[in-house]
Amino acid sequence: MKKILFIANSDRHIKLCHIPYMQLFQENGYKVHVITNTDEKIKCCDKKYSVNFKRNPFKIQNFISIFKVRKIIKEQGYSILSCHTPVGGFLGRCSCIGLKNKPVILYTAHGFHFYKGSSKIYWILYFTLEKFLSRFTNAVITMNKEDYDIASKKFHCDVYKTNGIGLIDSRLKLTNKNIRKELKLENKYIVTFVAEISKRKNQIKFLKVLKKHEVDKDIHFVLVGDSNINNFDKMVSKYDNVTYVGFVDNVGDYINASDLIFSPSIQEGLPQNILEALYFNKMVIALNIRGNRDLINKNNGILVNNLDELIDEVVKYKNSKPKKINNNIDKYKINHVIKEYNKIINNYIDDIK
Protein backbone atom coordinates (compact mmCIF):
# COMPACT_ATOMS: atom_id res chain seq x y z
CA MET A 1 0.00 0.00 0.00
CA LYS A 2 1.24 3.51 -0.85
CA LYS A 3 2.11 5.86 1.99
CA ILE A 4 2.30 9.63 2.34
CA LEU A 5 4.10 11.54 5.08
CA PHE A 6 2.95 14.99 6.23
CA ILE A 7 5.54 16.97 8.18
CA ALA A 8 4.97 20.30 9.96
CA ASN A 9 6.06 22.06 13.12
CA SER A 10 2.90 21.36 15.18
CA ASP A 11 -0.20 19.21 15.47
CA ARG A 12 -2.28 22.40 15.58
CA HIS A 13 -1.09 23.34 12.10
CA ILE A 14 -1.98 19.90 10.76
CA LYS A 15 -5.42 19.98 12.38
CA LEU A 16 -6.26 23.45 11.11
CA CYS A 17 -4.95 23.07 7.57
CA HIS A 18 -4.55 19.50 6.35
CA ILE A 19 -7.21 17.08 7.60
CA PRO A 20 -9.27 17.26 4.34
CA TYR A 21 -6.14 16.47 2.31
CA MET A 22 -5.21 13.57 4.57
CA GLN A 23 -8.74 12.24 4.21
CA LEU A 24 -8.44 12.53 0.41
CA PHE A 25 -5.31 10.37 0.42
CA GLN A 26 -6.91 7.77 2.69
CA GLU A 27 -9.90 7.59 0.37
CA ASN A 28 -7.46 6.96 -2.49
CA GLY A 29 -5.87 4.01 -0.71
CA TYR A 30 -2.90 5.67 0.98
CA LYS A 31 -1.65 5.14 4.52
CA VAL A 32 -1.22 8.61 6.04
CA HIS A 33 1.64 9.28 8.48
CA VAL A 34 2.44 12.55 10.27
CA ILE A 35 5.58 14.00 11.89
CA THR A 36 5.36 17.04 14.19
CA ASN A 37 7.19 18.20 17.31
CA THR A 38 4.15 17.58 19.52
CA ASP A 39 2.24 14.44 20.41
CA GLU A 40 -1.52 14.85 20.01
CA LYS A 41 -4.00 12.53 18.34
CA ILE A 42 -4.93 13.59 14.81
CA LYS A 43 -7.89 12.52 12.67
CA CYS A 44 -7.19 10.69 9.39
CA CYS A 45 -3.69 9.76 10.60
CA ASP A 46 -2.64 6.10 10.48
CA LYS A 47 0.70 6.59 12.23
CA LYS A 48 2.01 9.53 14.22
CA TYR A 49 5.64 10.40 15.00
CA SER A 50 6.81 13.05 17.43
CA VAL A 51 10.30 14.39 16.71
CA ASN A 52 12.01 17.06 18.79
CA PHE A 53 12.67 20.06 16.55
CA LYS A 54 12.48 23.83 16.84
CA ARG A 55 10.37 26.29 14.89
CA ASN A 56 13.46 28.13 13.64
CA PRO A 57 15.08 25.93 10.93
CA PHE A 58 18.59 27.11 11.85
CA LYS A 59 18.57 25.74 15.43
CA ILE A 60 21.18 23.01 16.16
CA GLN A 61 18.46 20.60 17.36
CA ASN A 62 16.96 20.56 13.87
CA PHE A 63 20.19 19.30 12.31
CA ILE A 64 20.16 16.43 14.83
CA SER A 65 16.50 15.71 14.03
CA ILE A 66 17.26 15.37 10.30
CA PHE A 67 18.79 11.96 11.02
CA LYS A 68 15.67 10.81 12.92
CA VAL A 69 13.36 11.93 10.12
CA ARG A 70 15.65 10.36 7.50
CA LYS A 71 15.53 7.03 9.36
CA ILE A 72 11.70 7.10 9.41
CA ILE A 73 11.53 7.92 5.68
CA LYS A 74 13.95 5.11 4.80
CA GLU A 75 12.12 2.55 6.95
CA GLN A 76 8.64 3.44 5.71
CA GLY A 77 9.38 3.93 2.01
CA TYR A 78 6.93 6.78 1.40
CA SER A 79 5.51 7.48 -2.05
CA ILE A 80 4.90 11.18 -1.29
CA LEU A 81 6.39 13.61 1.23
CA SER A 82 4.18 16.65 1.92
CA CYS A 83 6.16 19.36 3.76
CA HIS A 84 4.65 22.37 5.55
CA THR A 85 5.96 25.34 7.58
CA PRO A 86 9.60 26.43 7.16
CA VAL A 87 10.99 23.87 9.61
CA GLY A 88 8.85 21.07 8.13
CA GLY A 89 10.11 21.97 4.67
CA PHE A 90 13.69 22.10 5.92
CA LEU A 91 13.64 18.80 7.81
CA GLY A 92 11.67 16.86 5.22
CA ARG A 93 13.74 17.88 2.22
CA CYS A 94 17.14 17.71 3.93
CA SER A 95 16.26 14.21 5.16
CA CYS A 96 15.81 13.02 1.57
CA ILE A 97 19.06 14.36 0.14
CA GLY A 98 21.03 11.45 -1.30
CA LEU A 99 18.32 8.81 -0.74
CA LYS A 100 18.16 6.19 -3.50
CA ASN A 101 14.38 5.72 -3.35
CA LYS A 102 13.16 9.25 -2.80
CA PRO A 103 9.46 10.03 -2.51
CA VAL A 104 7.80 12.72 -4.61
CA ILE A 105 8.51 15.82 -2.52
CA LEU A 106 5.98 18.66 -2.30
CA TYR A 107 6.57 21.76 -0.21
CA THR A 108 3.59 24.02 0.50
CA ALA A 109 4.66 27.58 1.35
CA HIS A 110 2.06 29.13 3.64
CA GLY A 111 3.90 32.43 3.19
CA PHE A 112 7.67 32.57 2.76
CA HIS A 113 9.65 34.19 5.60
CA PHE A 114 11.21 36.52 3.01
CA TYR A 115 8.94 39.07 1.35
CA LYS A 116 8.90 42.64 0.09
CA GLY A 117 9.60 44.77 3.13
CA SER A 118 11.19 42.05 5.28
CA SER A 119 14.70 42.47 6.70
CA LYS A 120 17.80 41.76 4.61
CA ILE A 121 18.79 39.00 7.03
CA TYR A 122 15.54 37.15 6.24
CA TRP A 123 16.37 37.32 2.53
CA ILE A 124 19.94 36.17 3.13
CA LEU A 125 18.91 33.26 5.36
CA TYR A 126 15.47 32.09 4.24
CA PHE A 127 15.59 32.93 0.53
CA THR A 128 19.01 31.28 0.17
CA LEU A 129 17.80 28.21 2.07
CA GLU A 130 14.57 27.87 0.07
CA LYS A 131 16.38 28.33 -3.25
CA PHE A 132 18.93 25.66 -2.30
CA LEU A 133 16.27 23.19 -1.08
CA SER A 134 14.22 23.67 -4.25
CA ARG A 135 16.90 21.54 -5.99
CA PHE A 136 15.64 18.59 -3.91
CA THR A 137 11.94 19.33 -4.39
CA ASN A 138 9.53 18.19 -7.08
CA ALA A 139 7.17 21.10 -6.55
CA VAL A 140 6.68 24.18 -4.39
CA ILE A 141 3.03 25.17 -3.90
CA THR A 142 2.43 28.86 -3.16
CA MET A 143 -0.72 30.74 -2.14
CA ASN A 144 -0.22 34.32 -3.26
CA LYS A 145 1.07 36.20 -6.28
CA GLU A 146 4.23 37.62 -4.67
CA ASP A 147 5.47 34.20 -3.49
CA TYR A 148 4.58 32.60 -6.82
CA ASP A 149 6.41 35.28 -8.83
CA ILE A 150 9.60 34.94 -6.77
CA ALA A 151 9.60 31.14 -6.67
CA SER A 152 8.76 30.65 -10.34
CA LYS A 153 11.63 32.93 -11.38
CA LYS A 154 14.29 31.87 -8.88
CA PHE A 155 13.69 28.28 -7.75
CA HIS A 156 14.95 25.06 -9.36
CA CYS A 157 11.71 23.05 -9.34
CA ASP A 158 8.10 23.20 -10.51
CA VAL A 159 6.10 26.00 -8.89
CA TYR A 160 2.31 26.21 -8.55
CA LYS A 161 -0.17 28.63 -7.02
CA THR A 162 -3.40 27.54 -5.31
CA ASN A 163 -6.16 29.58 -3.68
CA GLY A 164 -4.99 28.94 -0.12
CA ILE A 165 -5.63 25.85 1.99
CA GLY A 166 -9.40 25.91 1.49
CA LEU A 167 -12.13 27.58 3.51
CA ILE A 168 -14.29 25.06 5.37
CA ASP A 169 -17.88 26.27 5.73
CA SER A 170 -18.67 23.95 8.65
CA ARG A 171 -16.07 25.70 10.83
CA LEU A 172 -17.99 28.96 10.42
CA LYS A 173 -21.44 27.69 11.36
CA LEU A 174 -23.35 30.10 13.56
CA THR A 175 -24.62 29.07 17.00
CA ASN A 176 -27.38 30.60 19.12
CA LYS A 177 -24.88 32.60 21.16
CA ASN A 178 -25.40 36.34 21.43
CA ILE A 179 -21.79 37.51 21.27
CA ARG A 180 -22.59 41.19 21.77
CA LYS A 181 -24.48 40.35 24.96
CA GLU A 182 -21.77 37.96 26.21
CA LEU A 183 -19.11 40.63 25.73
CA LYS A 184 -21.39 43.36 27.11
CA LEU A 185 -20.94 45.34 23.90
CA GLU A 186 -24.56 45.56 22.74
CA ASN A 187 -24.32 49.26 21.88
CA LYS A 188 -20.75 49.34 20.62
CA TYR A 189 -19.29 49.43 17.10
CA ILE A 190 -17.32 46.17 17.14
CA VAL A 191 -14.07 45.90 15.17
CA THR A 192 -12.57 42.40 15.28
CA PHE A 193 -9.26 40.70 14.51
CA VAL A 194 -9.06 36.90 14.56
CA ALA A 195 -5.51 35.50 14.76
CA GLU A 196 -2.98 33.87 17.05
CA ILE A 197 -1.40 36.50 19.27
CA SER A 198 2.15 36.74 17.91
CA LYS A 199 4.86 39.02 16.60
CA ARG A 200 3.81 38.32 12.99
CA LYS A 201 0.18 39.17 13.68
CA ASN A 202 1.35 42.40 15.33
CA GLN A 203 -1.29 42.81 18.08
CA ILE A 204 1.12 44.22 20.65
CA LYS A 205 2.37 46.97 18.35
CA PHE A 206 -1.24 47.71 17.42
CA LEU A 207 -2.11 48.24 21.09
CA LYS A 208 0.85 50.60 21.54
CA VAL A 209 -0.21 52.67 18.52
CA LEU A 210 -3.87 52.64 19.60
CA LYS A 211 -2.83 54.27 22.88
CA LYS A 212 -1.77 57.39 20.98
CA HIS A 213 -5.14 57.77 19.22
CA GLU A 214 -8.39 59.22 20.42
CA VAL A 215 -11.09 57.08 18.82
CA ASP A 216 -14.85 57.35 19.09
CA LYS A 217 -16.04 56.06 22.46
CA ASP A 218 -18.45 53.62 20.86
CA ILE A 219 -15.70 51.86 18.82
CA HIS A 220 -14.54 48.69 20.53
CA PHE A 221 -11.75 46.38 19.31
CA VAL A 222 -12.08 42.62 19.89
CA LEU A 223 -9.06 40.30 19.64
CA VAL A 224 -9.74 36.59 19.14
CA GLY A 225 -7.04 33.88 19.18
CA ASP A 226 -4.52 31.82 21.13
CA SER A 227 -1.73 33.69 22.86
CA ASN A 228 1.91 32.61 23.09
CA ILE A 229 2.74 35.87 24.87
CA ASN A 230 2.89 35.95 28.66
CA ASN A 231 0.38 38.22 30.38
CA PHE A 232 -1.21 39.39 27.15
CA ASP A 233 -4.63 39.45 28.85
CA LYS A 234 -3.23 41.77 31.55
CA MET A 235 -1.83 44.04 28.86
CA VAL A 236 -5.24 44.28 27.19
CA SER A 237 -7.02 44.92 30.51
CA LYS A 238 -5.43 48.39 30.60
CA TYR A 239 -7.52 49.39 27.57
CA ASP A 240 -11.18 50.36 27.99
CA ASN A 241 -11.84 49.95 24.27
CA VAL A 242 -10.23 46.51 23.71
CA THR A 243 -11.44 43.03 24.69
CA TYR A 244 -9.35 39.86 24.41
CA VAL A 245 -11.41 36.66 24.30
CA GLY A 246 -8.67 34.06 23.60
CA PHE A 247 -9.24 30.95 21.51
CA VAL A 248 -12.84 30.15 20.50
CA ASP A 249 -14.32 27.29 18.50
CA ASN A 250 -17.23 29.41 17.24
CA VAL A 251 -15.25 32.04 15.37
CA GLY A 252 -18.13 32.57 12.91
CA ASP A 253 -20.27 34.03 15.71
CA TYR A 254 -17.61 36.65 16.49
CA ILE A 255 -17.12 37.66 12.87
CA ASN A 256 -20.85 37.79 12.23
CA ALA A 257 -21.39 39.97 15.31
CA SER A 258 -18.77 42.48 14.15
CA ASP A 259 -19.38 45.73 12.31
CA LEU A 260 -15.92 45.72 10.76
CA ILE A 261 -12.90 43.41 10.51
CA PHE A 262 -9.31 44.67 10.74
CA SER A 263 -5.84 43.17 10.42
CA PRO A 264 -2.61 44.71 11.77
CA SER A 265 -0.67 41.62 10.62
CA ILE A 266 2.72 42.27 8.99
CA GLN A 267 3.27 38.80 7.45
CA GLU A 268 0.73 36.56 5.69
CA GLY A 269 0.48 33.80 3.12
CA LEU A 270 -3.17 33.93 2.12
CA PRO A 271 -4.90 35.08 5.33
CA GLN A 272 -7.65 32.74 6.45
CA ASN A 273 -9.09 35.38 8.80
CA ILE A 274 -9.71 37.75 5.89
CA LEU A 275 -11.31 34.96 3.85
CA GLU A 276 -13.58 34.27 6.82
CA ALA A 277 -14.50 37.95 6.97
CA LEU A 278 -15.32 37.99 3.25
CA TYR A 279 -17.41 34.83 3.73
CA PHE A 280 -19.65 36.90 6.03
CA ASN A 281 -19.51 39.90 3.65
CA LYS A 282 -17.71 42.06 6.19
CA MET A 283 -15.66 45.10 5.26
CA VAL A 284 -11.92 44.64 5.99
CA ILE A 285 -9.27 47.24 6.80
CA ALA A 286 -5.75 45.79 6.72
CA LEU A 287 -2.10 46.57 6.10
CA ASN A 288 -1.02 46.59 2.45
CA ILE A 289 1.05 43.41 2.55
CA ARG A 290 1.47 40.16 0.61
CA GLY A 291 -1.61 37.95 0.85
CA ASN A 292 -3.88 40.82 1.90
CA ARG A 293 -3.36 42.33 -1.57
CA ASP A 294 -4.58 39.09 -3.17
CA LEU A 295 -7.95 39.30 -1.38
CA ILE A 296 -8.80 42.93 -0.69
CA ASN A 297 -9.97 45.39 -3.33
CA LYS A 298 -11.92 48.66 -3.35
CA ASN A 299 -15.20 46.76 -3.22
CA ASN A 300 -14.57 44.80 -0.03
CA GLY A 301 -11.91 46.61 1.96
CA ILE A 302 -9.22 49.21 2.46
CA LEU A 303 -5.45 48.63 2.40
CA VAL A 304 -3.29 50.98 4.46
CA ASN A 305 0.44 51.54 4.89
CA ASN A 306 0.77 51.60 8.68
CA LEU A 307 -1.11 51.18 11.95
CA ASP A 308 -1.83 54.89 12.37
CA GLU A 309 -3.59 54.89 9.01
CA LEU A 310 -5.42 51.70 9.95
CA ILE A 311 -6.91 53.23 13.09
CA ASP A 312 -7.80 56.44 11.24
CA GLU A 313 -9.57 54.45 8.51
CA VAL A 314 -11.54 52.48 11.10
CA VAL A 315 -12.84 55.76 12.54
CA LYS A 316 -13.58 57.16 9.06
CA TYR A 317 -15.44 54.06 7.94
CA LYS A 318 -17.48 53.93 11.13
CA ASN A 319 -18.64 57.50 10.48
CA SER A 320 -19.41 56.93 6.79
CA LYS A 321 -22.24 55.20 4.97
CA PRO A 322 -21.50 51.43 5.08
CA LYS A 323 -20.78 49.72 1.76
CA LYS A 324 -23.01 46.90 0.62
CA ILE A 325 -20.66 43.96 0.16
CA ASN A 326 -21.41 40.76 -1.71
CA ASN A 327 -18.32 38.60 -2.06
CA ASN A 328 -18.05 35.48 -4.19
CA ILE A 329 -15.33 33.39 -2.57
CA ASP A 330 -16.24 29.98 -3.99
CA LYS A 331 -12.79 29.50 -5.51
CA TYR A 332 -11.25 29.71 -2.03
CA LYS A 333 -13.48 27.00 -0.53
CA ILE A 334 -12.06 23.58 0.30
CA ASN A 335 -13.99 21.68 -2.41
CA HIS A 336 -12.41 23.91 -5.09
CA VAL A 337 -8.90 24.13 -3.61
CA ILE A 338 -8.63 20.39 -3.04
CA LYS A 339 -9.31 19.87 -6.78
CA GLU A 340 -6.41 22.23 -7.55
CA TYR A 341 -4.20 20.18 -5.24
CA ASN A 342 -5.33 16.92 -6.85
CA LYS A 343 -4.34 18.25 -10.29
CA ILE A 344 -0.85 19.01 -8.98
CA ILE A 345 -0.51 15.49 -7.56
CA ASN A 346 -1.62 14.01 -10.89
CA ASN A 347 1.31 15.73 -12.61
CA TYR A 348 3.62 13.36 -10.72
CA ILE A 349 1.55 10.19 -11.00
CA ASP A 350 4.28 8.46 -13.04
CA ASP A 351 6.88 9.25 -10.34
CA ILE A 352 4.80 7.99 -7.41
CA LYS A 353 5.98 4.52 -6.41
CATH at 152: 3.40.50.2000
Q: Is the dihedral of CA 277, 283, 286, 292 positive or negative?
A: positive
**Is position 298 within any domain?**
yes
**Residue 35 φ then ψ, to 5°:** -120, 125
Output the pLDDT for position 349. 87
- Tens digits of residue pLDDT in 9-57: 999 999 999 999 999 999 999 999 999 998 899 999 999 999 998 878 8
Residue 353 belongs to some domain of the structure: no
pLDDT tens string 274-304: 999 999 999 999 999 999 999 999 999 999 9
Going by C-beta distance under 8 Å and a sequence separation of 6 or more, which residues neighbour residue 254?
179, 192, 194, 222, 224, 245, 248
In a domain, 275, yes or no: yes
User: What does the alpha-carbon distance between residue 294 and residue 288 come to, in Å, rounded to a whole number?
Assistant: 10
Asked if residue 327 has pLDDT above 90, the reply is: no
How many structural domains comprise the chain?
2
Tell me, yes or no, whether 201 and 232 share the same domain. yes
Average pLDDT for 321-331: 86
Cα–Cα distance, 342 to 325 (Å, whole number): 32
Claim to verify: residue 200 and residue 306 sit in the same structural domain: yes
In this structure, the answer to whether residues 211 and 156 fall within a common structural domain is no
CA atoms within 13 A on the CB side of 25: 26
Q: How far is CA 115 from CA 145, 152, 266, in A?
A: 11, 14, 10
